[in-house]
Homo-oligomer: A and B are copies of this chain.
Amino acid sequence: MATITEGPRPMAMADYKGRVDPDWCPGCGDYGVLAAVQKALVELQIPNHQVVTISGIGCSSNFPGFIETYGMHTLHGRALPVATGVKMANHELTVLVTGGDGDGFGIGGNHFAHAMRRNVDLTYIVMDNQIYGLTTGQTSPTSQIGMKTKSTPFGNVEGPIHPIASALACGATFVARGFSADQKHLSGLIRQAIEHKGFSFIDVFSPCVTYNKDNTFQWFRPRVKKLEDDPAYDSGDWLAAMEKSILWGEEIPIGKFFERTDLPSLDEAEPVLKDGPMVGRPDHIDPAIARAFIEELM
């Protein structure tokens, strides 16, 4: 995946700097995520033309415009199937998917589940701000009960989804959580996620400073606890990961919850790819094979 095939010059942060500056609100958590991704790519030295960054729609989904890679800014909720298509057509590319909690767990929830069970080899980073930012502040699937938003002015009465538990249940082979304010930690997770062969999911607390007045940087800072700080924690233990996944309140774990490397990713499992990527193959089917297809019908 992440092998360098061209160019002697090492990639630097500037090579991933997007054509335009991000137009997120000052202080938005997404800035930290962008920087962490760029940092991880520099560390991995992946040429920017071998990376495809794919998003849906939302503040966070504006991401591909702010990083210099091949990018696709698709439809709300549809980044994962698009990314799966990209990967299946050219599995030599490094595929990053970036977006919001609404995009990924709301409208995109079904693709989320299915991309994970297929173990598509991509890295999915959700900038989870527990709110719909771009539409100016409605509840999201990760909004907590009681939260007041424009769509729940008297407080949300619906329970949230649990991204980490769901990812584990759906068979994701790399599951982590980061915090936008801890860029070094986050960028380490992203690096591992990209290196992981298979579906990597990172839920990132990326506070919306404009619309989420509950789950702010200040709220998270004292609560997040790194799983890495507990030497006894075994990220190979699915059930242990499940147990940690539902902690919420005074202590909220971040870090790598789970990784397994024994399952083939979809491109590895798919026999059609044994001859290399689909892209670049000759247009026409071998005439003998084509003839056999017709013979079948005669």
Q: How far is the CB of A108 from chain B (nearest CB, A)?
A: 8
- B109–A157 CB distance below 8 A: no
State the CA gap A243–B171 with chains docked (Å). 14
- B239–A118 CB distance below 8 A: no
Contact of A169 (CB < 8 Å), options: B158, B159, B162: B162
**Cβ-based interface call for A6 (8 A):** no
Q: How far is the CB of A197 from chain B (nearest CB, A)?
A: 15
- A113–B239 CB distance below 8 A: no
- B157–A266 CB distance below 8 A: yes
Contacts of A242 in B (CB 8 A): 169, 239, 242
State the CA gap A118–B152 with chains docked (Å). 14
State the CA gap A271–B158 with chains docked (Å). 12
**Cβ-based interface call for A210 (8 A):** no
Contact of A113 (CB < 8 Å), options: B109, B154, B263: B109
- A161–B157 CB distance below 8 A: no
Provide a sorted-by-A list of 24 A–B residue pairs whose CB atoms are within 8 angstroms: A107-B110, A109-B114, A110-B110, A110-B113, A113-B113, A113-B166, A114-B161, A117-B141, A117-B159, A117-B160, A117-B161, A118-B159, A154-B271, A157-B269, A157-B270, A158-B266, A159-B171, A162-B169, A165-B169, A166-B166, A168-B169, A169-B245, A239-B242, A242-B242
Residues of A within 8 A of B (CB): 107-110, 113-114, 117-119, 141, 154, 157-162, 165-166, 168-171, 238-239, 242-243, 245-246, 263, 266, 269-271
